[in-house]
Amino acid sequence: MESLAYSELCLFRDFLNAKLACGESPVTPEQALDEFRILHLSKEELEDSVAAIRESIAEIDAGAPGKLASEYMAEVRARYGWDD
């Protein structure tokens, strides 16, 4: 029986091969791994994300000012040193 780690490595290899084959712009290994992790969330991680989104919507519905997506993304880009 294949181990979970082996299966995940095969999935990651296939993900990288697909990115390279379609000629996407190059990214760092860390960025590729981050993208892979986002696309392959566990059921628990997905449920946590959905719960966080629902909580945020409830806060906005209750009158919290929130933040523009463009402002948030600018903060994320600055935090991780990502260029536009």
Ordered per-residue pLDDT tens for the chain, 84 residues: 578 789 889 999 999 999 888 887 778 889 999 999 989 888 999 999 999 999 989 999 999 988 889 998 999 999 988 875
Whole-number pLDDT of residue 13: 93
Domain with 54, as residue range(s), is 41-84
Check residue 22 and report its DSSP letter.
T
Shared-domain flag, residues 48 and 18: no
Shared-domain flag, residues 46 and 36: no
Measured between alpha carbons, how far is 6 from 12 in angstroms, rounded to an integer?
A: 10
Shared-domain flag, residues 31 and 58: no
Under 8 Å between Cβ of 84 and 77: yes
Shared-domain flag, residues 12 and 45: no
Shared-domain flag, residues 9 and 28: yes
Whole-number pLDDT of residue 53: 93
Nearest to 32 by CA among 24, 42, 44, 43: 24
The 3-state DSSP class for residue 58 equals helix
Under 8 Å between Cβ of 4 and 28: no
